[in-house]
Structures are given as structure tokens and as C-alpha cells.
Amino acid sequence: MIIVHHLENSRSQRVLWLLEELGLPYEVRRYARDATTMLAPPELKAIHPLGKSPVIEDDGAIIAETGAIFEYILDTYAAGRLTAPAGTPQARKLSYWLHYAEGSAMPPLLLKLVFMRMPEGAPGLLRLLIRQVAGKVQAQLVNPQLASHLAYWESELAETGWFAGADLSAADIMMSFPLEAAASRAGADKSTAVMDFLGRIHARPAYQRALEAGGPYAYA
């Protein structure tokens, strides 16, 4: 059975959702974030040297990184579900979104979060200065990048409502976290196609079961 080392409020929620959509049995081992740093607990380093989530165990193998985990599960267990025939345009598009989600979409969203929170931890005398610097970096660097990504998602989703075909695929599950994060802190809540997409995936029974398995989930 697949064991999912699941960190609360993290990208590993997508792994649980993928497993639920495929109807695969799995075991969840939950980890709480450090209340001060919000980082993963040291116990995860016993599973993988970087001490991060998601990590899965299956038949003696330890697999880390969400994209690699998705590829492993799809190759090993999906039997063609949530994927596309190899060599087809749809398969290439699906592969693109699996890599884009972490490689291109998440870096500016992470920067947004860092610069939003930076003034909170600053000493009182420096807080105003750091808030001004963080605001300028967001306005000149981060926000324009995010605006480009948002426009891109809106355009892609406007075609079929999904990222890689006419129905839900692994690409949509992978892209769920960036879009949820963007709706929380990057203005995606004003994007019609993005919010329609989020509404549809959140209503799926498999998504709801994954939430129950993973526990409380916030992406702010």
C-alpha cells in the first residue's frame, strides 16, 4: 500500500486527491508545521534527507517531489486514467502542466508570500522601511509576473474549462495548488475561468475525500 507522508496545509494535498480520483488504497501519515517557522518538522528528515513533503513510500521505494510522485503513480497504477496516450498532443500538454505547476507557477507565488509576511517579523524600528521595500519589490517584480500567469490560466481554461483536454486530468490536479494559492493572495479571485475551475474541483467527491484524509487545509 502507498504511504503518503503528508504535511498539513501543503502541496501534498494534491497527492491525496490524485489517489482518491484513481480509487487507490493508501495510508496517510500526518505531520504538523512548526508553529513559529511554519516549516516541516524534523521527523520528515528520517524519511527523506530534505525533510520536506510530499514524500511517498511504495513497495520499498521512497519518492519525493510532487511531479515525480504524480508520474510514478500514473505510470504504475493509473492504467490510462487521468492521462493521455503517449506521443499525442494531449499527452505533451499534460506533461507540460505537470512541470509548469512547480517550475513556473509556484516561484512567484512563493515570493509573494515571503514579501507579504516579511514586515511581520521585522523589528519595530525597521518595520516601516521593510514594508516599503517589500511593497516596491511586489509592485515592480512579483505582481507583474503573477498578472501574466493569471492571464495565461484564464486564457487556457476559457477553452475547455480544463488544462489538458475536455475533462479532468492529472494536469488539473497538479495545477490546483497554484490556483488555490493565487486565489488567496494574488488576485485570482477576480478571474472568472479560474474561479469556475476551483469551484468545480472543490465540489468533486474525490477532492472532498482527500480533504477528510489529509485534515485541515489552508493555502493562504
For the residues 163-191, what does the mean pLDDT come to? 95
Q: What is the pLDDT of residue 170?
A: 98
Question: Which residues touch 24 (CB under 8 Å, ≥6 apart)?
Answer: 2, 73, 77
Q: Which residues make Cβ contacts (< 8 Å) with residue 92, sequence separation at least 6?
A: none
pTM: predicted TM-score of the whole model, two decimal places: 0.93
Mean pLDDT of 1-27: 94
Residue 108 has pLDDT above 90, yes or no: yes
Based on the number of CB atoms within 10 Å of its own CB, is 120 exposed (0-12), middle (13-18) or buried (19 or more)?
exposed
Q: Is the pLDDT of residue 183 over 60?
A: yes
Query: Distance between CA atoms of 120 and 117, rounded to whole angstroms?
Result: 5
Where residue 177 falls among pLDDT bands split at 50, 70, 90?
Answer: very high
